[in-house]
Amino acid sequence: MIRQPQQHPASWWDQFQQVSDRFDLGSLTESLGDEIVAKIPSPLLRREAEIALNIMVRFLNKPASEELSVRAEQAVARLAATVDRLEERSSDGFELREARALIYLLQGRTGDAAHAAEPFLKPQVILRSFVAALRLERFDTNLAVKLLSAGQDPRLALHSGQVVGKYSWWPSWLLKVVTERAMAGELDDDTITALDRCAYAELSPAQARLARRLLDGEESLIDASAVRLAGLGEGDAAAKLRKGDLTTVALAARLMPI
């Protein structure tokens, strides 16, 4: 089930790099880095942070460059030293949280950076940076961000985003069903197969309404549809429908008189 929004541990954010072999660290660093830098209150510190971020992004886009590698490392070290010095000179407990979050990001500690940034950045802002860095094709970003914002596990949320993106040609009523199932954490392979068959069945509006009610598990309708299937010689399909096999929904709806 989906949990209520809350601050996530670094390990939760680290999952994003594990679900895509095309994860673009440069994209994440630039996107999330820009958001973090904009929140640094001190103009001088913000300028130093911008310099470090720009150099690191250039290096991540050209990782073979030894010169950029050295410059990026030095820029991050200078920024970290500056932040350490400012915190040491200030009162006890003083922390430059925005700059610290950026340092984590520039060090490649993306999970720590996101966790540190959550108190001062909107969750959706951070999530969109991570999702964009996945470089997934045919992907419903809005749905994925919505699910992730609600606390759903990244693997499930991203899978749902891929499914809806892949089947964006489905009729609106099916997309609504799949979105509802995704929000409830109930979008499994059997459901996807059943919905895909409904899409290919080219159901009439009345048949589509029937299919939706069957997908929702309306017992009286399932029983009546099973009886009709059996009467038309589809005994196996009728038995499967009674047992909750969603793959028979399209057939049951298609056999309804138009």
Give the domain ranges of the chain: 10-135, 160-254
* Residues contacting 71, CB < 8 A, separation 6+: 55, 59
The mean pLDDT of 208-228, rounded to a whole number, is 83
Query: Helix, strand, or coil here: 134?
Result: coil
Beta carbons within 10 angstroms of residue 90's beta carbon: 11
Give yes or no for residue 93 having a pLDDT over 60.
Answer: no
pLDDT digits (tens, 9 = 90+) for 107-132: 999 999 999 999 999 999 999 999 99
Q: Sorting pLDDT into bands at 50, 70 and 90, what band is 2?
A: very low
- Any idea what DSSP says for residue 247? G
* Residues contacting 258, CB < 8 A, separation 6+: 204, 206, 207
Predicted local confidence at residue 258, as pLDDT: 52
Predicted local confidence at residue 5, as pLDDT: 52
pLDDT digits (tens, 9 = 90+) for 140-164: 888 888 888 888 888 888 888 888 8
Indicate the range of 42-46, 74-78, 240-244 predicted with least confidence.
240-244
CA distance 118 to 124: 10
Q: In terms of Cα–Cα distance, which of 154, 163, 160 is closest to 184?
A: 160
* Residues contacting 58, CB < 8 A, separation 6+: 68, 72
CA distance 215 to 212: 5
Indicate the range of 3-7, 80-84, 140-144, 183-187 predicted with least confidence.
3-7
Q: Sorting pLDDT into bands at 50, 70 and 90, what band is 100?
A: very high
**Sequence-ordered alpha helix ranges (H) in the chain:** 10-18, 25-37, 43-61, 66-89, 97-106, 110-117, 123-133, 141-149, 154-166, 172-183, 189-200, 205-215, 219-231, 235-242, 249-254
CA distance 98 to 163: 36
**What percent of the chain is modeled with pLDDT above 70?**
93
* Residues contacting 95, CB < 8 A, separation 6+: 87
CA distance 75 to 161: 37
CA distance 132 to 95: 30
Q: Sorting pLDDT into bands at 50, 70 and 90, what band is 191?
A: confident
pLDDT digits (tens, 9 = 90+) for 14-45: 999 888 888 999 999 999 999 999 999 999 99
Give yes or no for residue 218 having a pLDDT over 80.
Answer: yes
Mean residue pLDDT of the chain comes to 87
Predicted local confidence at residue 107, as pLDDT: 98
Q: Which residue has the tokens 């700059």?
A: 99
Four-residue CA torsion sign, 218, 220, 221, 224: positive
Is the full-model pTM beyond 0.85?
A: no
> Integer distance in angstroms from the first to the last C-alpha of the chain?
37
